[in-house]
Amino acid sequence: MSLTPLLYGVINVLLVLLISPFYLTLIKKVKARVQGRSGPHLLQGYWNLMKLCQKEVIYSDYSSFISRITPYASLALLIVAGDKLII
């Protein structure tokens, strides 16, 4: 197995991860323009993410391990799915 496809896979995943907040903001921007507003700054998605990351995590006292692992698991699954498309 050569390493090139693996490298492409890694690059692909990183690119997807880096670019997706930008797309979210872009959609908001377009929506706002259509409605005649000016809309958020194009980098607002990244700023939001940075701010949210600084907040503490609150779990409900009824919650189980499912709600703790689900965010990690869903992101990991998406990354593997993206990887599989390349390999």
Q: Which residues bind other proteins (CB under 8 A)?
A: 13, 53-62, 64-66, 72-73, 75-77, 79-80, 83-84
Nearer to other proteins, 35 or 51 (CB): 51
Minimum Å distance from CB 48 to other proteins?
Answer: 13
Residue 34, H or E segment: helix 4-34
Minimum Å distance from CB 62 to other proteins?
Answer: 6
Nearer to other proteins, 4 or 35 (CB): 4
Which two three-digit tokens encode residue 46? 């990244």
- Scored b (16 or more CB within 10 A) or e, 5-28 reads eeeebeebbeeeeeeebeeebeeb
Nearer to other proteins, 35 or 84 (CB): 84
Instruction: Name the DSSP letter for residue 3.
Output: S
